């Protein structure tokens, strides 16, 4: 009887964990302009710090600032920028994700470099002229330490303990001579990479 109860408990636990993972949000659209809210996008303000409750926000104590240019199109009427690198994180389950980033400024040129996870270079020096915008797309893989549906975790090497690869969020670093982040879209590409 004890053995049967143990097997049933494991089956319920596996099904529940798959249900929870299936329920976790895997697609986001963020707008970083301070004035107009873009339909279908979550407006992110510089004061929005990452928290597990919201599942997104600026991370590691970095605080960019937002500029409103008063344009007619909500996604490109403003942006966030910074004088030093700033980080933005999103809580996501393990897998592959397509990302799109809109950069640019209505009134000045911009130059943006984007890294993800442990400083993996995604886009180097995305440049736009005054009044111009660029949409850049890539696919990013994120991993979590948990191995499939078990209670086991990947054993990290000492140098990996604090790297951004092995957590439950996708982290972007925005940098460059004049980074101008207007919008970010994240969409899950396929099922988890390992079982």
Residue with tokens 């319920």: 12
* Token pair recorded at residue 111: 């130059």
- pLDDT surpasses 50 at 164: yes
Would you place residue 141 in the very low, low, confident or very high pLDDT band (cuts 50, 70, 90)? confident
More confident of the two residues 72 and 166: 72
What's the pTM?
Answer: 0.79
Pairing assessment for the beta strands 42-43 and 27-31 based on DSSP bridges: parallel
Task: Identify the pLDDT of residue 18.
Answer: 40
CATH of domain 25-188: 2.60.120.430
CA atoms within 13 A on the CB side of 179: 26
Would you place residue 119 in the very low, low, confident or very high pLDDT band (cuts 50, 70, 90)? confident
Query: How many residues would you count in the chain?
Result: 195
Would you place residue 124 in the very low, low, confident or very high pLDDT band (cuts 50, 70, 90)? very high
- 156-165: long-range contacts at Cβ-Cβ below 8 A with a sequence spacing of 24 or more? 163/118, 164/117, 164/118, 164/119, 165/117, 165/118
């Amino acid at each position: 009887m004890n053995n049967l109860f143990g097997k049933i408990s494991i089956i319920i636990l596996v099904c529940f964990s798959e249900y929870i993972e299936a329920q976790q949000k895997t697609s986001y659209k963020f707008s970083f302009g301070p004035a107009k809210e873009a339909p279908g996008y979550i407006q992110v303000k510089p004061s929005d710090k990452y928290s597990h409750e919201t599942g997104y926000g600026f991370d590691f104590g970095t605080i960019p600032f937002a500029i409103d240019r008063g344009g007619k199109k909500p996604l490109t009427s403003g942006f966030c920028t910074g004088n030093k690198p700033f980080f933005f994180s999103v809580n996501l389950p393990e897998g592959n994700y397509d990302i799109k980033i809109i950069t640019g400024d209505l009134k000045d040129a911009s130059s943006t470099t984007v890294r993800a996870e442990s400083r993996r270079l995604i886009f180097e020096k995305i440049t736009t002229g005054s009044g111009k915008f660029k949409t850049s797309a890539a696919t990013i893989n994120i991993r979590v330490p948990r191995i499939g549906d078990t209670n086991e975790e990947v054993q990290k090497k000492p140098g990996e303990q604090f790297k951004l690869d092995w957590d439950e969020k996708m982290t972007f670093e925005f940098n460059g001579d004049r980074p101008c982040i207007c919008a970010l879209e994240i969409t899950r590409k396929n099922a988890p990479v390992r079982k």
